[in-house]
Chain A
Amino acid sequence: MKTAARSLNSSGLTERIGQAARDLAMRCGNFAFDVISELGDIAIFASQILLWIVTARPKKGTLLPNFYAVGVLSLPVVALTGTFIGMVLANQSYTQFKNIGLESRLGAVINYSLVRELGPVLAATMLAGRVGSAMAAVLGTMRVTEQIDALISMGANPIHYLVVPRFLACVMLIPALTIMADFMGILGGYFYSVVLLGIDHSQYIRNSRDFVSGFDFFAGIFKSVFFGAIIAVVSCYRGFHCQAGAEGVGRAATAAFVLSFVLILILDLLLNILLDFVYLAIWPGGTTLF
């Protein structure tokens, strides 16, 4: 009796495990399907934006407010965070470099990190948080309150009217914001290293000049253009596909930032690899991981 009951229990357990595995596989499959179909939708959305950019001029009066919101209003926050990142870098690197007697090289490390990596990523992150979420929220509210339907019913194309100006503002102004983040970061790093930590001014400047090249500066600006495009496409897409209600708008704004940020980091890695290849093609003697 006991053996039969144990065997029944065992077969029941196997069945439950099998069912759980099937459920898990199905959920994973559905998740993969959703991710792929969403990426496909985003790609189609991006291609529509590009098509509108090349086929029609932006509507009169739509560019300036977006350029103002993206560029002018983002400047203070980008400058402030850039300054502090420069100072934090100096603060964190100083002890490590002092231990091996290389504190005079601090300028090289701080400025290289800022120009190549932190400046563009920081500017893009601030833009995604400040502008991207706002874009998703505004367009989401327009979707929920039927303002986008109203635009279409009156003969306006919402991608042309709403998305193209935002896209152009992000893509064209993010290099300026990156330059501002670089500049303020360099200034912050210099102030902390030279004024507060007492590193020699001429050595700091010489090392910075020797280690940071024009290509590094170009690489940072080049990457930022792609980050700007990602922020605009993802945020506008999220706004356009917003679910109904206040919760839907909130979710669209959050998702716009999270997805933009993740894509910025992935794109950063891929673009760095690409730029290393380009660097090696131009200067074959250089060092790179690939």
Chain B
Amino acid sequence: MLAPESTNPLQSNAELLVETRDMSLVFGRQTVLNRISISIPRGQTLAIIGESGCGKTMLLKSLVGLLKPTLGKIFFDGVDIHSLGDVELTKMRRRFGFVFQNAALFDSMTIGENVAFPMDQHGVPKGKNAQTLILDRLAEVGLPDAVVSKRPAQLSGGMRKRVGLARALILEPDLILYDEPTTGLDPIMSDVINELIMRTRRKYPVTSVMVTHDMLSAKKVADRIIMLYPFSRLIKGESQVIFDGTPDEIENTTDRRVRQFVRGEAGERLMEMRAARSESIGPGDLDTLKHFDARGEE
């Protein structure tokens, strides 16, 4: 098996909070994740990058027990989370915060109720202090008190993401997971979200795992970057983690696939499109391919 390009120096001595050991995830006949072993020390901000469909989000959801790995184990603070019963796992989930791609706010609730939801679930007493806490969390992500009584549908995409972040932070989790936090936002709002993630890390002793396509965001926010590659495209025996290193290291990587991703180049995908062209192609596709071909020859 080929080793990842580099191992992170931060990983060696610090205490591990999350660890996956030979974790595989298979749906029917499709292998999404194959023998993934990652260790995440406390306090680290890890960005997981990779093209669409490579299993980044699946990996993120597996870390908090939303998906059960087909093989292998996932440890959180030394405990195999998939060996826990429902009650223990629910207790442990108090220590996780998850910021979903489209915020996943509950439509039927107000913003205040959404942010307070983890408190209700984990039996945190509500009262004046709880109300202050909700307003504080919303203020931390730059939202005014007036949004408390609004419904998610009344907010913009960026505001919903910030509410999602406030909800994830309400119980001060040990581990916070971000699923494509900047996707679908304008560059300014993306940077606002990046700043909030960095501010959160400065304010709370939180470990963060972020799945993203956005290289600007990954380089700005992360201490460490991991790149996953789709299992179906790997050379036999190769690790699915094709890069593991710091943001500086990824700039100087020698792996062609990592370089192409970082620079946003289509690379061999054009060859594949050309091969597919011979099988079935429409007039619109032909124009697109000619355009790509011309760029590739430049």
- Residues on A facing B (Cβ under 8 Å): 65, 141, 145-147, 149-150, 152-157
Residue B271 at the A interface, CB < 8 A? no
Query: Do residues B86 and A149 form an inter-chain contact, with CB atoms below 8 A?
Result: no
Chain B positions within 8 Å of A146 at CB level: 100-102, 104
Query: Do residues B104 and A149 form an inter-chain contact, with CB atoms below 8 A?
Result: yes
Query: Do residues A147 and B107 form an inter-chain contact, with CB atoms below 8 A?
Result: yes
Report if A145-B104 is in contact (Cβ < 8 Å); known contacts: A153-B64, A155-B94: yes
Query: Do residues A150 and B121 form an inter-chain contact, with CB atoms below 8 A?
Result: no
Report the number of A-B residue pairs with Cβ-Cβ less than 8 Å: 47
Chain A positions within 8 Å of B66 at CB level: 149, 152-153
Report if A150-B100 is in contact (Cβ < 8 Å); known contacts: A155-B121, A156-B121: yes
Residue B106 at the A interface, CB < 8 A? yes
Q: How far is the CA of A99 from the CA of B245 in the complex (A)?
A: 92
- A122 smallest CB distance to B (angstroms): 30
Chain B positions within 8 Å of A145 at CB level: 102, 104
Which 10 A-B residue pairs are closest in the complex by CB-CB distance?
Answer: A150-B104, A146-B104, A153-B98, A155-B121, A155-B90, A155-B93, A154-B118, A146-B100, A147-B104, A156-B121
Chain B positions within 8 Å of A154 at CB level: 93, 98, 117-118, 121, 167
Known: A65-B108, A149-B104, A154-B117. 13 other contacts (CB 8 A): A141-B107, A145-B102, A145-B104, A146-B100, A146-B102, A147-B105, A149-B61, A152-B93, A153-B64, A153-B66, A154-B167, A155-B94, A157-B90
Chain A residue with minimal CB distance to B97?
A153
Q: How far is the CA of A153 from the CA of B118 in the complex (A)?
A: 9
Pick 9 A–B contacts, CB within 8 A, sort by A: A65-B108, A149-B98, A150-B98, A152-B93, A153-B64, A153-B96, A154-B98, A155-B94, A156-B121
- Residue-wise, chain B 89-127 has the 8 Å CB interface mask toward A (1 for contact) of 011011010101110111110000000011001100000
Query: Do residues A155 and B122 form an inter-chain contact, with CB atoms below 8 A?
Result: yes
Most buried by B among A65, A141, A150, A157: A150
Checking A150, A152, A155, A157 against B106 with a beta-carbon cut-off of 8 angstroms, the contacting residue is A150
Q: How far is the CA of A31 from the CA of B105 in the complex (A)?
A: 37
- B18 smallest CB distance to A (angstroms): 15
Chain B positions within 8 Å of A152 at CB level: 65-66, 93
- A64 smallest CB distance to B (angstroms): 13
Chain B residue with minimal CB distance to A61?
B120
Chain A positions within 8 Å of B118 at CB level: 154-155
- A249 smallest CB distance to B (angstroms): 13
Most buried by B among A65, A141, A149, A154: A154
Chain B positions within 8 Å of A156 at CB level: 117, 121
Chain B residue with minimal CB distance to A156?
B121
- A41 smallest CB distance to B (angstroms): 15
Chain B positions within 8 Å of A150 at CB level: 98, 100, 104-106
Chain A positions within 8 Å of B101 at CB level: 146
Chain A residue with minimal CB distance to B94?
A155
Most buried by A among B65, B66, B91, B167: B66
Chain A residue with minimal CB distance to B91?
A155
Residues of chain B from 158 to 206 with CB closer than 8 A to chain A in the complex = 167
Chain B positions within 8 Å of A149 at CB level: 61, 66, 98, 100, 104
Chain A positions within 8 Å of B106 at CB level: 147, 150
